[in-house]
Structure 1
């Protein structure tokens, strides 16, 4: 199945300008693509030479870049964000070597399952999960993250064929998970997976640092988890950190809580098919 990407929640009223540009000494193709995406995103195109002064003055804090490989990234005060499924590749290598993975232990996926990934982010977990299931439906509320990741999913070509196949199983929407779930019928998905932003983030995770200024920090509450249970057929899985208080704040009985002693990651599961 080809990737379907739909932008639902485009942010047009920012406190600062958001623009799109190219890398230095751009190719003709890069300029043409940047101008096209400028129209698609509804943001101005700036020649790269004219951008530096506006950034220094604080008039531009977030800007998209099309490089000469036609890769799209977004630059924030904390770094550059772009799509790359490198962590999924490392995770698969570890799984093939060790024969186990805590996320898979939590999900218990089958080849015909459809997973709803409520907080898609960079899609690192989604690409890995998609290898083991029929399809992954994702929502990402941040327009900036959605634009970069959906573009990357549509263009990325890996030397690892399993990654190319997995990416084709992903459908991504630019939508808030709460509004998305309310429109779904009971038992719409086999598994619902949610990975909200951590309360105590691991700042050493350099791949995620550029994402932090763009991400939604809307946390889970009990009513949202009940919606997840309503639309799931087999189980829901919530990812958090052992030092976070998320699970303590939820009036939910979890059937399994899987903890990594090494990383402090926690996968809390409600099993509906027990």
Structure 2
């Protein structure tokens, strides 16, 4: 399905500039708002819609109940807890240290990538893959331009390299041992009721299933370990040989395969 770009209901110069930027980067056409709702434009043109607002983009997949837009989400308070010396399950599983490199195969909202950037520091490298062109555009723009005075949150967001690619195809092109850690968080097989803030991402994002080939390529590319995150009921841990980090009160678990394990 095609995607078009429009502006907010009352566009100013900035929103018009942002709309043109989206058209240029994504190679898609502009549709004037003409006092129509976004849902009406989407229905009339049978298209997904990216709306350029006054200070951000919003993505409306056709038929979605809510727009997808970038927000650092849980990363902000996770960084504050880490800075206080509290543990973070993602960092416990990945064992990232300053100077490490990590490939996040399923970037999504980017919360884990932001935490990873904090752990590896400016000496390290964080690359995040997103298969959906529109989601990748929204997140890439948000990472670079989200308005916050919070440090180190801003620095961490700016450090992440967002790449619009399908994970397995990208992995196949990489040399052996290219990244210290390869991380995968496919869309949950089961919906977690408490995660209402991810509903828009579920509508907008691609629901990828982990495969044996994906795990095989991840292991080839990783120097240290491959880490997966999945619903606690998921069988992918056992199916693909991940050692599960059981968290009794959590709805999701992490699984690890050590490269030399």
Q: 2:24 aligns to what?
A: 39
Give the superposition deviation at 1:165.
Answer: 1.6
Give the superposition deviation at 1:167.
Answer: 1.9
Q: 2:51 aligns to what?
A: 65
Q: 2:195 aligns to what?
A: 205
Alignment size in residue pairs: 255
Change (3 A) 1:248 1:257: closer
User: What 5-or-longer segments of structure 1 have no aligned partner?
Assistant: 1-13
2:42/2:48 contact within 8 Å kept: no
Q: 1:266 aligns to what?
A: 253
Q: What TM-score do the two structures reach when normalised by structure 1?
A: 0.86
Q: Mapping of 1:74-223 within 5 angstroms?
A: 74-76=59-61, 77-97=64-84, 99-133=86-120, 134-223=124-213
Question: How well do the aligned residues superpose, as a CA RMSD in angstroms?
Answer: 2.0
Q: Deviations along 1:4-30, whole A, 9 cap, x unmatched?
A: xxxxxxxxxx1xx42111112121221
Relative to total residues, which structure has the larger strand share, 1 or 2? 1
Change (3 A) 1:86 1:214: closer
Q: Mapping of 1:223-238 within 5 angstroms?
A: 223-238=213-228
Give the superposition deviation at 1:263.
Answer: 2.3
- Provide the secondary structure at the position in 2 that maps to 1:38: helix
1:237/1:270 contact within 8 Å kept: yes
Q: What TM-score do the two structures reach when normalised by structure 2?
A: 0.90
- Provide the secondary structure at the position in 1 that maps to 2:249: coil
User: 2: distance between equivalents of 1:260 and 1:49?
Assistant: 51
